[in-house]
Amino acid sequence: MRLNQRYTTFFVFVSLLFSVIGCNRKGDTSGAPRIAYVTNGVASFWSIAKIGAEKAGRDLGVHVSVHMPAEGIADQKRMVEDILVRGVDGIAISLIDATNQTGFVNQVADQTTLITHDADAPLSRRLAYVGMDNYLAGRMVGKLIKENLPEGGQLAILVGRIEQDNARKRRQGVIDEVMDRDLNPDRFDPLDAPIKNDKFSFVVTLTDQFDRVKAKSNCEDVLLKHPEVNALVGLFAYNIPLCMEALKQTDGKRDLRLFAFDEADQTLQGIIDGSVVGTVVQNPYQYGYESIKLLKAILNKEPNSIPNSKFIDIPARTITKDNVSEFWSDLKQKVSGS
């Protein structure tokens, strides 16, 4: 009888032990989904998106790794290939050149759950796109230009890479709105084509391939070679801040209106100071957060996680002196995590 009691006590102990181990495994996140968030470059914009992605990872119990290629398409391709070798459950990627990367994107989509964010590859087999309508956002900048230059003007456009789907559409949106054209996101004015109407003229579009030295040099070239230009339009986050630096090095006599994209600190401070007219902002924090949220929902096979449009719209906003303080305060709160 005592022997039976000992066996009974032993089996009770073993059962309790396995019960405790089971409970510990439930609380263990080592088996959580692994998601890679891949940007198309290195910029303050992406630092904000990184914070959003990592916050989603903590909130949703997902392992998130953020990858920022500094050297273009080859670097981005190498990063993604390395991610796939290491093993991953899903990837959110912003493409550098949608047309020339579509084949590669399809290869990645065959190996893991894939979505795009910020810069889309609409002809690929990606499951969905998280971002804004870049063409309409470009038209928002165009409206800001017409409101602040009612007599017209000579414009220069500065951008990182025109190969990116978002850059091409932003530029076209700006041009079409200023030229009072109809809505047509598939239209494309070549960089060397004359673009003008009775009030406005787009004198030049300069690209920098994410090279900050080149970007600043482009601004300096406009100041030196195009004295007729009275407005600069920067399509990437760093373009207008670098132009502000270039302008500081002049004699201060050049009167230029600056129109920006995104929420770089220098741009927002410039709006407050009056040196920048305004900017159209995306929501990089939400890009990061919503991309991780969407991928987890897809991996969990949640019903209706992918909309019929395959587009998660995070609307753009126009920021001017009227709302810049409120916007910047909210942005700082998100970035600080408070």
What b-and-e string marks burial along 200-231, b requiring 16 or more CB atoms within 10 Å of the CB? bbbbbbbbbebeeeebbebbbebbeeeeebbb
What b-and-e string marks burial along 49-65, b requiring 16 or more CB atoms within 10 Å of the CB? bbbbbbbbbeebebebb
CB of 126 closer than 8 Å to CB of 101 = no
Do strands 278-281 and 317-319 pair parallel, antiparallel, or not at all (unpaired)?
Answer: antiparallel
Determine the pLDDT at residue 35: 98
Do strands 195-196 and 200-207 pair parallel, antiparallel, or not at all (unpaired)?
Answer: antiparallel
The widest CA-to-CA distance across the chain, in whole angstroms, is: 106
Give per-residue pLDDT as tens, 189-220: 999 888 999 999 999 999 999 899 999 999 99
**Positions in the chain short of pLDDT 50:** 1-3, 7-29, 338
Give per-residue pLDDT as tens, 308-338: 999 999 999 999 999 999 999 998 888 876 4
Closest CA to 310 of 182, 123, 169: 123
CB of 278 closer than 8 Å to CB of 137 = no
